[in-house]
Structure 1
Amino acid sequence: MRVRDAAGRHPTIPFWLGEAPGRTEELSEEVSKLRRGVAERSDDGGRDAAIEYVEEVSGIEDFAAALVVDYLNAGRAALGGVLPSDEDIVFERFFDESGGMQLIIHAPLGSRINRALGVGLRKKFCLNFDFELQAAASNDAALLSLGPQHSFPLEDVPAFLRSHNVQDAVTQAVLRSPMFTARWRWNLNRSLAVLRRKGGKLNPFNIQRMEADDVMAAVFPSLAACQDNTPAGPVEIPDHPLVRETLNDCLTEAMDIDGLKALVTRFEQGTIRVHFVDTVEPSVLAHEILNGAPFTYLDEDGEIGERRSRAVPLRRGLPVEPRELGRLDPDAIARVRAEAVPDVRDPDELHDVLLSLVAARPRQEWTEHFQALAAGGRCFEVHRVDATDVLWAATERRGELEALFPGARFVEDHQLPPALAARGGADPDGAEVQMVQGHLEISGPVTVGDLATATALSNSSVTIALEALRARGIAVAGEFEPDEGLQWCARRLLARIHSYTRERRRAQVRPVSREEWEQFLQAWWHVAPGTQLHGRAGVAEVIEQLQGAEWPAGDWERI
């Protein structure tokens, strides 16, 4: 059998798991208690103290307790030193290979609460961004797969759901979810509206589904109606016993709407600690939900191959340096900054750059091309009022510059072409957004002050423009470099930085050569010089190493 590097691809072995009841509230409390105990003892007495604690409270052996402690500590380090529990909820966000983002809410509260949380947030994202998200939920986390157009402060997510309307939001969201469809058919069977057997024979399942759809069209026409004819706004829910029973099953059996209300209330009152972290790659605690089985899905896209979460490369095993998961590689940042700088080779390319930037600071390497453009009437210098420095700009941007810098002089004073002059004056706010976007696209991670210097705009104007770009999904804010504070970066550039960072880390783990593999085997088998074992202790170690090995009985007898 030949073994080669899988290049980060996911396992393809099928599973045989089905939907099961979620973890109980009492068991979830015990899980949170165990996590808090591991975190406290790791801080006070180190790894050994945490292992002893796990052995004491769970009764498992020391090697198993060590695995639990290492797993939890690796996840804790990646999440900024916080271990999720019923008192600490962690919102983790990272890029995937498609350019989108994955948002994971680490909340070990049981799948019933997490399903309700995931369904409710999915509905709010749909209303705010007009985009249907893929979502999933497990006993320990909820997952939302975000598209490239989703850009927002991570701190805003807990406020998406409010205690006074969270039940209405979840109710509307669950109507078009797979759990409503499954429980609708179940209740039709229970009420004998759709029979499982007819004439002493089993009613085929596909026929039962068709009959269930027919009952849906008769009882709940607004849900079964054509989407083109459905009025905008919430779906009107009929007062029918089958509909009421199905919704009640979804809200109280498959989900825990009361538990979600209590959680949202704690968000509002600040009685639960909420943490936010952007990571380069997912923490080990995120692996379970990213590889979740289809029964964890909260949307109708049940094909594993179509899941955005499957586009996330995962490490095999625990990271050697878990604290590095949340840090961007400085070399990757420098590389992207260098790639983002325009490579101007002729006057036409400089003209295109000036159009995209609206205005730019003079650069020595562009002087010759700028002079050629100015001689042809295609650009000019911008002299602002009460300012000694100048800007370069394309003639076509004169309208925006007059709106941005009233009273500015243009040297040479080239006028707008008649076709552009007929459009009238430019909007100052729109011009600021265009200018900030142009400079953000060629800068990499920058601060507001850096952009203000590059654009000659005020800090407040730059901040307003950046917030507008974030609402469009173009800009992302975060602490990307140490000691730089809050920075902003174009989303496409940040995705590239994340990709380069992952590539560097992935390159550190490479397949070994055949010679290295043979040397390892000789040492592992204790046949290499200096590795041989002797005496009773050696025999015991060999037996322990061979534990679980499947060899024919005849081979064992010849040993």
Structure 2
Amino acid sequence: MVRELRSLDPAAAAQRLRERAGFDDLAIKNLLAYLDDQAAATGIVPDDRNLVVERFRDEVGDWRVCLHTPFGGRVHAPLAFALEARLRERLGVDARALWTDDGIALHLPEVESPPALDELILDPEEVQALVSAQLPASALFAARFRENAARSLLLPKRRPGQRTPLWQQRMRSAGLLQVAGQYPDFPILAETWREVMSDHFDMPALTGLLRAIRSREIRVVAVDTERASPFASSLLFSYVAEFMYEGDQPLAERRAQALTLDRDLLAELLGSEDLRELLDPDAIAAVELELQGLLAERFPRDVDEAHDLLARLGDLSAEEAVAGLPDAFLEPGANPLESLLRRYARTHVPFVTSDPSKRWGLPAAAIESALARLAARGEVVAGEFRKVAEGREYCHPEVLRTLRRRSLAALRREIESVPPDALARFLPAWHGIGVRAGGVDRLLEVVFQLQGLALPASVIERDVIASRVGNYAPRLLDELVSMGEVVWVGRGPLGASDGRVALYLRGDAPRLVPPPVDPPQSELHDRLRSHLKARGASFYRDIYNACGGGDEEVMLDALWDLVWSGEVTNDTFAPLRLLGPAARRPARKARLPRLIQPRATGRWSLVADLIGAGANATERLHAEAGVLLQRHGVLTREAVVGEGWPGGFASLYPVLRAMEESGRIRRGYFVEGLGGSQFALPGAVDRLRSLRESGGAVIAMAATDPANAYGTVLSWPQSDGRMARAAGAYCVVDDGRLALYLERGGRSLLTNGEVEPAHLQALIAIATNARLNRRIIGSFRQPVHGA
């Protein structure tokens, strides 16, 4: 109907509404004006052939995304569930969706940029799985289960003829659902699934809609607006009512179990609520005025509003009464101490024990005891919140959430994003490329920053460590490994003469070393494992004799299979340096015993014996987030994906968000062109912003170096050749711009823009260090400037 009305002139549209819909003149005027206002706001009015995705920020700065469609609630409801699941899976966003017959409204808290249009267009083949994954944790499913359980007499009444309060029904139903969830074939559970999927959802219509979008029979248009359009305002008007009965939704517990994240343990790992560096004093002052009702727009206008304000604020001094209420509306009242403190916390910013003690003339000990009881029940939060306060403070959880949200919003507004080339300048500086400091202490700093990063063994010392440690000598790493300060673990082979290796500090290894990947299974591998488990660290000759001898090459290859799967390590780094075709020699007969192969040197041991039982999931995620932040300074989704980190960005997101809320890291849109979920250490933000302007430095580094932003966080520039983060390839970066790319082995040299003599000098220096015994400079498409 909307499409037809928009195609008619106003007079014809009015006539159609009058004849076919029975509208009077006032209704016709209102409806046509409503459609005109929508067209003015979004440029297009949604109809059955044109869907509109509207994106805007709300009054507190959170992103809202409204999908305007005319296909009704039975299609919109499952689509909303699927979008919630997709955004949480792909972007790590805790999206909340509301649906009506007119569309879907998504609330995206704490994101700097809204999801792209392709993130909101789902495949018809996967929508069923997404809905099924999201539905059990929804309020809709819990409510339908409660009704079915009541009808089947599984929720008996206390007495016949007496109605059970709704809140008690919810509590009993939630407990029953928690138990029933352990039995998928429970009849009431199955009936709830059938009722929701068949009666409340129209899945065939939804898949048909998605197929029409994919075939472009239906067009989807994205629109960014400054404020909510008329259609969006109607959707948002229903938002509060939708979540009024959210008690039916056992969301926090289910998602915490799904993430295997212990929130209490995470809070312990992050420390106490020390937010004095995070909470903004201006935000605290503004919230205090709002809570106390001292803003002009919040003054009571009549007796009812005065009564509500007094009930909310509690007792008032004479000065406060004059400021906010007429004397006629004041009435004395008395409440128990805990009730007074609960209301006091609800209407004040963080306070210390002496504040209510002085106000009411009560002993500080009594106030402290009552506050401790409230804190134990979670009704107030204890911590350190204001810079001007000393000692422990108390705050209501809702007030603290408001302060956090506004303070974080203020912090994010202060941070202006930098162009991508600033990140390419930042990473080498953050990693200390070219630092002259050397010795064991500097090497430990480098290993700390590289922990868990799988790098080719052929480049980890020559190209990565040597660029960060002045006058680096291999014996330094051997000393740390033999002393037990550093552990290396294999992360997969790269052909016959190389493989990926990750370094760890011994104290951090239990929380960072991942489980073995595809452990080899054969009788020989089992014999090797059994010997190392029984005897501990062993020389290869002892391993060879204890495991039956035979073909030495076969035995050694089996041992290296265990190395690359992450099961076995060595007390020196020498075997990794000595890998290569020269180390693989055919067995020969000899009367005298010959020296073992270089790749068998040192003592071999099981990684599990070095790291012990490891850590639980929460400790591991907390340690992983810390390591990635130390390595990248500014952590983005692209950086995590580029490293191939197990679990991806979504698994780390809850920990990163908790670290931000505790004030330990910052979140914002730091680098242009990257995703909105960017987290950074405070020092890294200042360093990044200081490198916004050009610096003129020319740096040569390995293509696989984590200080190289290209190929992971930033895309490779367009080139005639193929650029990749390959072992043995090198890059020259000039002031954040990729200038040269030398392919592995010096086979070809790719240029990006004008080539300067300084570019070639940097490349020759690193190529000489890599001992590339061939001519690497061929011909250029552009002349060398000044040559």
**Band the TM-score falls in, shorter-chain normalisation:** 0.3 to 0.5
With CA pairs under 8 Å and 6+ residues apart, which has the higher RCO, 1 or 2? 1
Structure whose CA Rg is larger: 2
**TM score, norm. by length of structure 1:** 0.47
